Amino acid sequence: MTNDENEALLKLMGSVSIGDDLYGLSIKELQARIDALNAEVERTYLALTKKRGDMSEAETLFAPRKTD
């Protein structure tokens, strides 16, 4: 399935929500749904990685200074 086909199916499906009834979906619709959910998982992991990096930088910047 191409990206264009996936995008067309996702437009037909509307937004993907957790817990939706999957019974009436075709194989193509189910695959498009999986692709959309995988893309969202990847996007979420990237955001998490960025936030962890930002937090690490902030902790380094604002860490108490060691005095001898």
Residue 13's pLDDT is what? 56
**Residue 22 CB coordination number (10 Å):** 9
Note the Cα 37 to chain centre separation in Å: 7
| CA distances (Å), origin 18, targets 21, 40, 53, 59 | 9, 12, 29, 35
Q: Which of 43, 60, 8 is nearest to 29 (CA)?
A: 8
Residue 15's pLDDT is what? 75
5-31 residue pLDDT tens:
666 665 655 678 889 999 999 999 999
- pTM for this prediction: 0.65
Residue 65's pLDDT is what? 82
